[in-house]
């Protein structure tokens, strides 16, 4: 059997479209052998995913994608960094952190919607909440961007980020997530491994990325995701060099959210380069 690992995906417990059951079924159909559900700041979809994975005989790794912020020592500037936790065995330490995160997420969503209601003169909150299945703590900017498309305010999700939701734009609400090192520590305390998600999607210069990797490793992070298939070869080359230099394990991931984000396909993951070792080797 060929190993195919997709260790970063979303269900409708965060901003994915599918239920955990349908997602696991689709993963099985896509010939994925090692699969992780990694909803934003919640473990709520895992029991359902586990039932379906056991039913189909698929290896499910418990996962989460934590929103954190990393403050660069030299500039004191905070940037948003996503950390994927994989293979947690006792979720209690992580749940304590997630309780705070869920609160931050719900309050930030309300603040963004309030700004958008003033700007667009359209009622945002109820519709956004409905898109998130009624779970305020699960609302992401993905849902808000989707509402802006549905309401005819923008024609594409990307436009919502470019014009309203991105950093410095009119409906942006500044970061207040937990520090990256605390996120990594909570994952480790729960028996999991911390993986730096989409390392080239944080709008960092290569120097800043180097500093981030040093801090991430110092906090206990041991793996980073390889760039998605649609990223340029030069990006992959840079990550390959950094993986080698810092002796990171690597993870392969689609960051699948559903058919509405046509650029990520479930199970469409890059291959490991020679000498690279998959993070699944660290998971029991
Ligand atoms: P949040 O965690 O609330 O800041 O929301 C971030 C989520 O928004 C990401 O996980 C993506 O799913 C989604 N997202 C970010 N940028 C874009 C984009 N340019 N187009 C569509 N969705 C995006
Ligand atoms: Mn998302
Ligand atoms: Mn992410
Ligand atoms: Mn993600």
Residue 225's nearest CA partner among 240, 206, 245 is 240
Q: What is the rounded CA–CA span in Å between residue 107 and residue 111? A: 6
Residues 6+ apart with CB under 8 A from 226: 236, 239, 250, 251, 252, 253, 269, 270, 272, 276
What are the CA-CA distances from residue 145 to residues 132, 157, 163, 260 (Å)? Answer: 12, 5, 10, 12
Report the pLDDT value the prediction gives residue 1, as an integer from 0 to 100: 66
The residue contributing the CA closest to ligand 1 atom 11 is 142
The residue contributing the CA closest to ligand 1 atom 9 is 142
pLDDT tens track of the chain, all 284 residues? 689 999 999 999 999 999 999 999 999 999 999 999 999 999 999 999 999 999 999 999 999 999 999 999 999 999 999 999 999 999 999 999 999 999 999 999 999 999 999 999 999 999 999 999 999 999 999 999 999 999 999 999 999 999 999 999 999 998 789 999 999 999 999 999 999 999 999 889 999 999 999 999 999 999 999 999 889 999 999 999 999 999 999 999 999 999 988 888 999 999 999 999 999 999 97
CA of 173 to the centre of ligand 4 (A): 20
DSSP state, residue 163: I
- Give the number of whichever ligand sits closest to the CA of residue 15: 2
The residue contributing the CA closest to ligand 1 atom 3 is 140
Q: What is the rounded CA–CA span in Å between residue 19 and residue 12? A: 6
Nearest-atom index, ligand 1, CA of 139: 3
Find out whether 147 and 128 touch, Cβ atoms under 8 Å.
Answer: yes
The residue contributing the CA closest to ligand 1 atom 6 is 141
CA of 276 to the centre of ligand 4 (A): 22
pTM: 0.96
CA angle 61, 64, 65 (to 5 degrees): 135
CA of 113 to the centre of ligand 2 (A): 18
- Identify the structural domains of the chain with CATH numbers, from first to last: 5-100+175-282 (3.20.20.140), 101-165 (1.10.150)
- Bridge partners of residue 63, in order along the sequence: 86
CA of 8 to the centre of ligand 3 (A): 9
Report the pLDDT value the prediction gives residue 79, as an integer from 0 to 100: 92
- Which residues have any ligand 1 atom within 6 Å of their CB? 15, 40, 67, 140-142, 145, 157-158, 161, 257
CA of 272 to the centre of ligand 4 (A): 20
Report the pLDDT value the prediction gives residue 59, as an integer from 0 to 100: 95
Report the pLDDT value the prediction gives residue 247, as an integer from 0 to 100: 98
What are the CA-CA distances from residue 139 to residues 108, 118, 149, 201, 253 (Å)? Answer: 9, 19, 16, 21, 22
The residue contributing the CA closest to ligand 1 atom 2 is 140
The residue contributing the CA closest to ligand 1 atom 13 is 142
Q: What is the rounded CA–CA span in Å between residue 90 and residue 192? A: 9
Report the pLDDT value the prediction gives residue 202, as an integer from 0 to 100: 85
């Amino acid at each position: 059997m060929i190993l195919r690992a997709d260790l970063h995906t979303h269900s409708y417990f965060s901003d994915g479209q599918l239920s955990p059951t349908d997602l696991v079924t689709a993963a099985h159909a896509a010939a994925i052998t090692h699969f992780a559900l990694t909803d934003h700041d919640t473990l709520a979809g895992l029991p359902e995913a586990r039932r379906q994975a056991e039913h189909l005989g698929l290896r499910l790794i418990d996962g989460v994608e934590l929103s954190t912020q990393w403050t660069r020592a030299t500039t004191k500037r905070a940037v948003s960094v996503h950390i994927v936790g994989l293979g947690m065995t006792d979720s209690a330490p992580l749940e304590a952190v997630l309780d705070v995160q869920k609160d931050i997420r719900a309050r930030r969503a309300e603040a963004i919607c309030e700004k958008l209601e003033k700007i667009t003169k359209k009622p945002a909150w109820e519709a956004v909440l409905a898109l998130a299945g009624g779970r305020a703590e699960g609302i992401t900017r993905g849902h808000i961007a989707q509402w802006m498309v549905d309401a005819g305010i923008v024609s594409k999700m990307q436009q919502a980020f470019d014009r309203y939701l991105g950093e410095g734009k009119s409906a942006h609400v500044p970061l207040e997530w937990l520090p990256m090192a605390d996120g990594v520590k909570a994952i480790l305390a729960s028996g999991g491994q911390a993986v730096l998600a989409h390392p080239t999607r944080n709008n960092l210069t290569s120097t800043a990325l180097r500093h981030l990797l040093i801090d991430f490793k110092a906090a206990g992070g041991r793996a980073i995701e390889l760039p998605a298939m649609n990223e340029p070869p030069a990006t992959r080359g840079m990550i390959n060099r950094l993986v080698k230099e810092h002796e990171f394990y690597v993870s392969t991931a689609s960051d699948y959210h559903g058919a509405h984000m046509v650029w990520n396909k479930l199970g469409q993951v890059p291959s490991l380069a020679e000498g690279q070792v998959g993070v699944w080797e660290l998971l029991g």
